């Protein structure tokens, strides 16, 4: 090492720093995620049952815009829920396909069910609102249950998912429960993208700390955000996030910021969604949300891309720096394998997919960069046939600060 080239020394030092960081974060995640409640493993026989009577336990809001392929199956899975009474409100939000007709078909099969299914046909978007938050607000306004589930039109629920989730939330005295959906994949490339997307979050979020009122960590998931109606009203209602592209995360931040109790639950197979198709499908899906997740701040995107880019390049560059470089690279990938193992309870992805970390991360970097470039170039976000100016989005954006 006495005669090592300065560049080699820099590469070695940075790679060892990355390795130590990954070993630290992945090990914490491995033990932290293991402590999260799992709907498939909780002993519900010791938890009190939901109340008897005729009133709904839970209002489920299902906004849908041009979701004719998925909406009927999603509503059917809600109508098949057991041991719970649901008020289901499906909002056909300006669809130009057969979404509304498919909703009507599902409603026709509602006879004899303990649940109710109401359909709202919305044909206009008022100023200073994004489509999804406005559709959700229409449903929330008609909600009658003490709990509200905000979900998506393409989520499929196992028969006891909602009764288990609600009983768990009540048992933990939570005001907000996020169930991590199972992301359906059809090949190893899709699995690699799901795995890298979730493992990289260990750098910015500790799922097991969301329940800690003193921790800065918060979470919201569009497919399963369940919140007490009183808590939602206390944080300002859906109107508070009317211009939020990532309204699910902002609801999670607001709930915790206002002193309410949030928690995260696992439940492989309980709530499933086909989030994207093909490895490049994630790139398309992040077009709307990618830049918004960084609060439309280019410097934040630059920092994140730099950190991720170094994780792609440095381990391979270190291989050419002698045995120390090989050791640094090996240590980093050991950390990655631990991180992938930690997430197996979330996504059931094989730790072997850590071998595809670099190319998968490169594609994820492109997704965030593309979202940023397109948003800045267009001067806003174009989604589902509606354009939202960037200036307007920034004016209504909630600043996620620690407290």
Q: Scan for tokens 């630290």, then name that residue.
A: 24
What is the Cα 59 distance to its own chain's centre?
A: 20
Decide the pairing of beta strands 116-122 and 271-273.
Answer: unpaired
H/E element, 63: strand 58-64
Taken in order 304, 306, 312, 314, the sign of the CA dihedral is: negative
Report the length, in residues, of the chain: 403
- On whether the CB atoms of residues 284 and 382 are closer than 8 A, the answer is no
Query: Do the Cβ atoms of 183 and 273 come closer than 8 Å?
Result: yes
Residue 335 confidence (pLDDT): 97
Residue with structure tokens 């057969």? 98
Res 402: pLDDT: 63
Cβ atoms of residues 170 and 48 within 8 Å: yes
What the block records as the tokens of 200 is: 């990289």
Nearest to 231, CA basis, from 290, 300, 295, 143: 143
Give residue 6's pLDDT.
86
Domains of the chain by residue range: 8-35+290-395, 44-273
pLDDT score recorded for residue 1: 45
Q: What is the pLDDT along the chain (403 residues), one digit of tens a residue?
A: 445 678 999 999 999 999 999 999 999 999 999 999 999 999 998 888 999 888 999 999 999 999 999 999 999 999 999 999 999 999 999 999 999 999 999 998 877 789 999 999 999 999 999 999 999 999 999 999 999 999 999 999 999 999 999 999 999 999 999 999 999 999 999 999 999 999 999 999 999 999 999 999 999 999 999 999 999 999 999 999 999 999 999 999 999 999 999 999 999 999 999 999 988 999 999 999 999 999 999 999 999 999 999 999 999 999 999 999 999 999 999 999 999 999 999 999 999 999 999 999 999 999 999 999 999 999 999 988 899 999 999 999 998 976 5
- E strand segments, 212-347: 225-228, 262-265, 271-273
CATH superfamily of 44-273: Spore Coat Polysaccharide Biosynthesis Protein SpsA; Chain A (3.90.550.10)
Please choose, from the candidates 160, 169, 165, 133, the residue with its C-alpha nearest in 3D space to the C-alpha of residue 61.
133
List, as one string, the DSSP characters of 82-145: -SS-EEEEEEEES-SSSHHHHHHHHHHT-TT-SSEEEEEEE----TT--HHHHHHHHHHTT--S
Q: Which of 33, 271, 282, 76 is nearest to 165 (CA)?
A: 271
Provide the whole-model pTM: 0.93
């Amino acid at each position: 090492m006495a005669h090592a080239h300065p560049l080699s020394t820099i590469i070695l030092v940075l790679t060892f720093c990355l390795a130590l960081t990954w070993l630290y974060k992945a090990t914490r995640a491995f033990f932290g995620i293991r402590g999260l409640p799992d709907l498939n493993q909780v002993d519900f026989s010791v938890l009190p049952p939901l109340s008897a009577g005729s009133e709904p336990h839970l209002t489920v809001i299902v906004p849908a815009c041009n979701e004719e392929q998925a909406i009927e199956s999603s509503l059917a899975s809600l109508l098949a829920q057991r041991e719970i009474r649901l008020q289901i409100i499906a909002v056909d939000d300006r669809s130009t396909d057969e979404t509304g007709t498919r909703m009507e078909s599902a409603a026709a099969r509602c006879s004899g069910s303990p649940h109710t299914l109401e359909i709202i046909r919305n044909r206009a978007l008022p100023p200073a609102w994004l489509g999804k938050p406005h559709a959700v607000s229409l449903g929330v306004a008609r909600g009658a249950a003490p709990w509200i589930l905000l979900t998506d039109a393409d989520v499929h629920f196992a028969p006891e998912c909602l009764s288990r989730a609600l009983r768990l939330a009540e048992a933990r005295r939570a005001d907000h429960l996020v169930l991590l959906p199972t992301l359906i994949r059809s090949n190893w490339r899709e699995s690699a993208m799901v795995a890298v997307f979730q493992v990289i979050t260990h750098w910015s979020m500790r799922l097991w700390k969301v329940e800690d009122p003193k921790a800065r960590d918060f979470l919201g998931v569009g497919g399963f955000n369940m919140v007490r109606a009183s808590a939602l009203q206390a944080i300002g209602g859906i109107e508070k996030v009317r211009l939020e592209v990532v309204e699910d995360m902002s609801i999670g931040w607001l709930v915790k910021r206002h002193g309410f109790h949030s928690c995260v639950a696992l439940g492989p197979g309980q709530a499933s969604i086909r989030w994207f198709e093909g490895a490049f499908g994630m790139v398309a899906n992040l077009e709307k949300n990618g830049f918004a997740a960084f609060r439309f701040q280019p410097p934040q995107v630059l920092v994140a891309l730099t950190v991720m880019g170094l994780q792609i390049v440095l381990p391979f560059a270190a291989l050419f720096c002698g045995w120390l470089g090989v050791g640094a690279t090996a240590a980093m990938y050991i950390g990655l394998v631990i991180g992938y193992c930690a997430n197996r309870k979330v996504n059931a992805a094989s730790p072997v997919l850590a071998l595809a970390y670099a190319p998968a991360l490169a594609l994820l970097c492109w997704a965030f960069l593309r979202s940023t470039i397109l948003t800045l170039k267009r001067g806003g976000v174009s989604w589902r046939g509606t354009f939202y100016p960037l200036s307007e989005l920034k004016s209504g954006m909630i600043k996620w600060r620690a407290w």
